[in-house]
Amino acid sequence: MKIVLYYVLMKTKRPTRKNTQAVQEVQYVQHVHDTQEVQEVQVARVGALVAGEGSILQASGNELITRYIDSLDVKPRSRDTYRKSLKQFLLYLQEHGIRDPKRTDILAYKRYLMDRHTACTVSTYLTAVKGLFTYLEAERICPNVANGIKGAKHQTGFRKDALTVDQTRKVLSLIDRTTEEGLRDYALVNLLVRTGLRTVEAQRANIEDIRQEGGEALLYIQGKGRDSKDAFVILTASTLDPIREYLRARGKALATEPLFTSLSDKNRGGRLTTHSISRIVKNALRGAGIDSDRLTAHSLRHTAVTFSLLGGASVQEAQLMARHGSVNTTMIYAHNIERIASAPERKIDALLGL
């Protein structure tokens, strides 16, 4: 069966006294030929969606993007990411005067992104664009010119570094614990570096999420991509005591309140944002004389996993603490530790004796 599909998008009628609104006429013609075990789809467009104005994407880009995003079965956070990514794409088309995107335009956009963003960001933006064109093709609006275009190749390893033991001790020791703000910051940074929580997991935590089970204090968390708080980390005395000290200084609070709250005038008592948590960690690092783009709040997660392995935890135990979806992720930490410990470069030095 050979199927040839033609989309003929006619120009809109100009407004008249009898017709105060533009009327879009879309004519779809389907021609079918019988062949042997062959299916081929071709899509051709004639004219413009709106008289005198660009093509489908430019004439009704925002509307189509909204329809596409509404069709996705994803979380609100993912919807926002798709919306942001596609807004960037539309801006690119407008800035470069592209009215009828071709495959070469998508490839050019990919190169444009790679000159300005990390591989991870490029892949995120391209995923949104490819998803949009897949949707447009399925809705018989335009061909999928982004089909088969690959995302950016990610670097091996992690984008952020881990702290050393000495750096971690210095960071914690230099946080001022004489104020409520200092007690909060110490409890937060200490929690992240001892449990490997993501910033969003710490941000979502409530006071009531600290529970006692089997003689251990646990903090139940809503992990990455999860809908409920069905995972936990163990709070040792060294982790729990600073949290309790901070909560005492904070005063009376309901169990349903956030574990870590803002002290700003605009949001006092409200839940810290992930941006605020990142800023608190960054300030703590800078306070210890550590200022690097590769050392951020997420570095504390890498630090926790690294320390657990250095302290004798198995790869599987470290994986459970970090809640990695694949043990291969945890293995990267183990390989890095083994690589540094074995250091064949030092054996070369010993051999040369220079």
Residue 335 a catalytic site member: no
Backbone phi, psi, residue 119, to 5°: -60, -35
State the residue for tokens 């230099």.
174
State the residue for tokens 């690092």.
285
Catalytic one among 68, 135, 246, 333? Answer: 333
Residue 169 a catalytic site member: no
Catalytic one among 130, 194, 198, 302? Answer: 198
Catalytic one among 184, 204, 301, 302? Answer: 301
The CA-based angle 100-138-76, given to 5 degrees, is 95
Residue 224 a catalytic site member: yes
Catalytic one among 110, 204, 302, 324? Answer: 324
State the residue for tokens 């803002």.
262
Query: Residue 28, CB half-sphere, CA atoms under 13 Å: how many?
Result: 6
Specify whether the CB–CB gap between 46 and 26 falls below 8 A: no
Residue 117 a catalytic site member: no
Cα distance between residue 26 and residue 49, in whole Å: 9
Task: State the burial class of residue 140 (Cβ atoms within 10 Å of its Cβ: 0-12, 13-18, 19+).
Answer: middle
DSSP characters for 92-158? HHHHTT-SS--HHHHHHHHHHHHTTS-HHHHHHHHHHHHHHHHHHHHTTSS--TTTT---PPPPSS-
Catalytic one among 102, 224, 275, 279? Answer: 224
- The three state secondary structure string of 32-51 is EECCCCCCCCCCCEECCCEC
State the residue for tokens 């709070």.
235
Catalytic one among 130, 204, 298, 302? Answer: 298
State the residue for tokens 């570094």.
161
Helices (H), the chain: 56-70, 76-95, 103-114, 119-138, 165-173, 180-195, 199-204, 237-250, 274-287, 297-310, 315-322, 327-342, 344-352
Residue 198 a catalytic site member: yes
Residue 279 a catalytic site member: no
- Show which residues are catalytic: 198, 224, 298, 301, 324, 333
